[in-house]
Amino acid sequence: MADRKNTVTRTFLNGLITENPTFTLMLGMCPTLGVTTAASNGIGMGLATTFVLVCSNLFISLLRKIIPDKVRIPAYIVIIASFVTMVDLFMKAYLPDLSKSLGSYIPLIVVNCIIFARAESFAAKNGPVQSLADGLGMGLGFTASITLLSIVRELFGSGTIFGAQIMPESYQPMDIMNKVPGGFITLGLMMILVNAIKKIIGKRRAARKEALA
């Protein structure tokens, strides 16, 4: 039992950090670049995706033995689309502002590569508990990275974070941050940073192992 718990935790952490969908797998670039101009957008988009990812992973995993191999893609789409519709309607009803600013990116979660990739490469091969953990890990990993990205972009692009003024009044917003090129540049720089940190950690770990051995 302890073993299983261990693997569940590991699956969760794998999605959150090791195979972070944005910085490592580079999946779902569309919303990553499209909506991350404001921190609230980032967190909203991330959580919506996480919800769909968790639910679709769970259901696909449960149904994985029933779905015939040849029609699995349409079947996945039906499952994913149902949850996306739920999210879309929910947001329209309770978070109309956020829904408006995310626009067509919410319905577009249907074709988000992360969800498809996890369905195809994980949920279709693993049990429901594992898939749930994977969905949650990947979803939160995605949420965390795009929120980080949108915080940086909002800070430089508008001088605010979550709408609160951070930069001094005299700050002239860097408009490129609100445009797609700014997204690319920020994403690239953050990837450099993440990879550099990973490299340092990897080196430390190797050194520690060597010291133990």
Partner 1 sequence: MQIKNIAITPSPHVRSSVSTRRLMQEVCLALAPAGIASVILFGAPAAVIIAASVITCVLAEYLYQRLMKQKVTVGDWSAVVTGLLLAYNIPAGAPVWIPIVGGIFAIIIVKQLFGGIGSNFMNPALTARAVLFVSWNAIMIKYPQTVFLAKGRVGLDAVSGATPLAELGKVFTGAEGASLSNVSLLDLLLGNCAGVLGETCKIALILGGVYLIVRKVIDWRIPVSMIGTVAVMYLLTSGFNLGLTARELLSGGLMLGAFFMATDYCTSPQTNKGRLIFGAGCGLLLFVIRAYASYPEGCSFAILFMNVCTPLIDRWTAPRYFGEVRKHG
Interface residues toward partner 1, by CB under 8 A: 172-177, 179, 181, 185, 189, 192
d(CA 172, CA 20): 33
Min CB(182)–partner 1 separation in Å: 8
**Secondary structure letter of residue 168 according to DSSP:** -
Q: Which two tokens stand for residue 68?
A: 């015939």
Query: In degrees rounded to 5, what are phi and psi of residue 59?
Result: -70, -40
CA 84 to chain centre: 15
Please, what is the Cα angle at 69 between 67 and 70, to 5 degrees?
A: 110
- As given in the structure block, the two tokens for residue 176 are 């490129």
61 vs 158, beta carbon nearer partner 1: 158
Give residue for tokens 């972009």: 153
Kindly tell me which of 89 and 192 has the beta carbon lying closer to partner 1: 192
Least separation in angstroms between CB 129 and partner 1: 42
- Residue nearer to partner 1 on the CB measure, 63 or 176: 176
